[in-house]
Amino acid sequence: MPSVEPVSADSEPLLSLRNITKAYPSVVANDSINLDVHAGSIHAILGENGAGKSTLMKLAYGVVEPDSGEILWRNKPVDLRSTAAARKLGIGMVFQHFSLFETLSVVENISLTMPGSRKKLARRIAQVGADYDLHVDPAASVHSLSVGERQRVEIIRCLMQDLKLLILDEPTSVLPPQHVSSLFAALRKLRDNGVAILFISHKLEEIRALCDSATILRGGKVAATVNPNEKTAHELATLMIGHDIPQVEARANQVDLNKPLLELSAVSVKSSDPFGTDLKNINLSVHAGEIVGVAGVSGNGQQELSRLISGEHVETSAAFDCIRMMDKPVTYLGAVDRRQLGFAFVPEERLGRGAVPPMSLSKNSLLTASDKGMHRKGFLNKPRMDEFTQHCIKEFDVRCGGVEAEATSLSGGNLQKFIVGRELSLQPKLLFLSQPTWGVDIGAATAIRQRLLDLRDAGVAILVISEELEELFEITDRVYVIRSGTLSPSLVTSDVTPNDIGKYMIGEQQQASVTGGSHAT
């Protein structure tokens, strides 16, 4: 682990928060928070989902105003009533939920806050992307980009500013391992040039490798401020949660090789988006009683594969039975018909695809669980909707203001827990999850992974797309690697290493077309 030089406690703080309090109708997000951030330092903010991390960062960036307390910049009080005021001071922020206009191109989005012609900006975007290994096409429409590619746009936009303080909310959550090291190199370079960095992440080893100090929030209050290099990941997790975290218990699975519940056979799909990725000769299978993973660098066809399997994209030019679920051809069936067969889906985009932001959690339950007694003769059964929603909230420890809380009012991790809980509560035969623990704290991620293993042991077929290699090695029985729209052979997880997977991800190991049902490497 690289050593980090701690910032002198005697140096003047660049940003100081004094007794900051921010309350919402259902929760006190920040309760008398005190925090000092120094120039030339990387300062981590840790805590469970709903601990107040994102709210605190929004206060520092002028997105929201505190109810009480004071914000100081170089020991002088400042009034951060807008993001423009924050940017004027030299503060930039990458949000967990991206602030990009989907109908505009990458360069058009960046031109909204950056001076210069689009031609010059496009060249700068390309150059910054090349410098930090965050490649993205400046002309690409944002709506066509994967979550990981959108994250790159946000990071590039901040790197193009004259920064004094950079706030990063889960910046590596959808970046592949190869690009995380490049990002960290860029952040260390910024730190060495005197930039202060506030870094929110649930990946504790990242915190230990990158940061020189860490403030831990619990229940909206500061629980501790520590040097993360002097703590183990387990000790940091215990400080965050307030108690010890159980380990995921993997048991020997009983996969039924004679019962594939999902089969894709030689499926090729031409992307309708000029910036999308064509799928080429995809062969994939998932059997009852196993968890199969799909690894890969973001933007290599995960989005297209996800929409194809979920039924959001119906490929009418493909063979009638090239996609089968529960031993039935579903190639021409849409999302609703596939769900009626016992299929459930957790998309990577929480807001928009996983949940409707302004709707209550109760109404969001109705979106995919309507056949669980939530309507009769054209009328909604509100008590049943609330009962189902309350079950999800309780079983998955969703921190919110109750069943009527709007989806957009939840922290990213809590909304993810709700969506996963909603889909798991449907008791599916076939479950498909894309980035299931994105932005979720270590305690909740452990709980979700254990639930998936329990479902597998109960005979459910589970497919997981994840850019977290650690997650895939922890829970999967087999794994495929997707690159440029093609899949690797089926790899038995216990027989390969992360380095083996990485070779497929970056093209050092040739992709191969194999029979979807193969369980051999």
How many whole angstroms separate alpha carbon 125 and alpha carbon 158?
11
DSSP line for 304-372: HHHHHHHTSS--TTS-TTSEEETTEE-TT--HHHHHHTTEEEE-S-TBTTTB-TTSBHHHHHHHHHTTT
Could you tell me which residues come within 8 angstroms of residue 212 by beta carbon, excluding any fewer than 6 positions away? Answer: 4, 5, 6, 7, 41, 42, 43, 227, 228, 229
Eight-class DSSP state of 39:
T
Q: Classify residue 177 by burial, with Cβ atoms within 10 Å: 0-12, 13-18, 19+.
A: middle
* Lookup: tokens for 513: 């077309």
Torsion sign (Cα): 138, 140, 142, 146: negative
**Homologous superfamily of 246-342+429-521 in CATH?**
P-loop containing nucleotide triphosphate hydrolases (3.40.50.300)
pLDDT tens column, 180-228: 777 888 889 889 989 999 999 888 888 999 999 999 999 899 999 999 9
**Residue of 312, 287, 295, 216 whose CA lies nearest to 462:** 287
Decide if 325 contacts 261 (C-beta within 8 A): yes
pLDDT at position 242:
81
How many whole angstroms separate alpha carbon 363 and alpha carbon 404?
8
Q: Do domains 13-90+162-241 and 246-342+429-521 have the same CATH topology?
A: yes
Query: 């206060």: which residue's tokens?
Result: 59
pLDDT tens column, 372-385: 999 888 899 999 99
Per the model's pLDDT, the better-predicted residue between 440 and 434 turns out to be: 434
- pLDDT of 305 > 50? The answer is yes
List the CATH code of the domain at 13-90+162-241.
3.40.50.300
pLDDT at position 248:
73
pLDDT tens column, 61-87: 999 999 999 999 999 999 998 999 998
Q: Which of 20-24, 268-272, 297-301, 474-478 has the lowest mean pLDDT?
A: 297-301
How many whole angstroms separate alpha carbon 387 and alpha carbon 289?
29
pLDDT at position 521:
30
In this prediction, what percent of the chain has a pLDDT beyond 90?
59
pLDDT at position 308:
95
Q: Read off the pLDDT of each residue in 313-336 and give the average, rounded to a whole number.
A: 92
Band of pLDDT at residue 468, cut at 50, 70 and 90: confident
Band of pLDDT at residue 417, cut at 50, 70 and 90: very high
- The secondary structure element, H or E, covering residue 148 is helix 147-159
**Residue of 213, 258, 221, 242 whose CA lies nearest to 53:** 221
pLDDT tens column, 87-108: 899 999 987 667 899 899 999 9
C-alpha distances (whole Å) from 80 to each of 43, 57, 85, 360 are 20, 12, 6, 30
Band of pLDDT at residue 320, cut at 50, 70 and 90: confident
C-alpha distances (whole Å) from 378 to each of 176, 305, 375, 383, 426 are 46, 34, 6, 15, 21
Mark residue 486 as left, alpha or beta (left: phi above 0; alpha: psi -120 to 50; beta: remaining).
beta
- pLDDT of 139 > 80? The answer is yes
Q: Which of 5-14, 107-116, 121-130 has the lowest mean pLDDT?
A: 5-14
Query: 């300062």: which residue's tokens?
Result: 43
- pLDDT of 146 > 90? The answer is no
pLDDT at position 251:
67
DSSP line for 157-219: HHHTS--SEEEEESTTTTS-HHHHHHHHHHHHHHHHTT-EEEEE-S-HHHHHHH-SEEEEEET
* Lookup: tokens for 353: 């695809």
Band of pLDDT at residue 3, cut at 50, 70 and 90: very low
Query: 């920064």: which residue's tokens?
Result: 163
Average pLDDT, the chain: 88
pLDDT at position 332:
95
Prediction pTM value: 0.72
Decide if 398 contacts 421 (C-beta within 8 A): yes
Q: Classify residue 495 by burial, with Cβ atoms within 10 Å: 0-12, 13-18, 19+.
A: exposed
Domain ranges of the chain: 13-90+162-241, 246-342+429-521, 352-427
* Lookup: tokens for 421: 């809980």
* Lookup: tokens for 347: 């998309």
**Residue of 333, 340, 361, 492 whose CA lies nearest to 419:** 361
Where helices occur in 258-311 by DSSP H, the ranges are 302-310
pLDDT tens column, 334-364: 999 999 999 999 998 888 899 999 999 999 9
C-alpha distances (whole Å) from 50 to each of 34, 218, 388, 501, 512 are 18, 9, 22, 34, 43
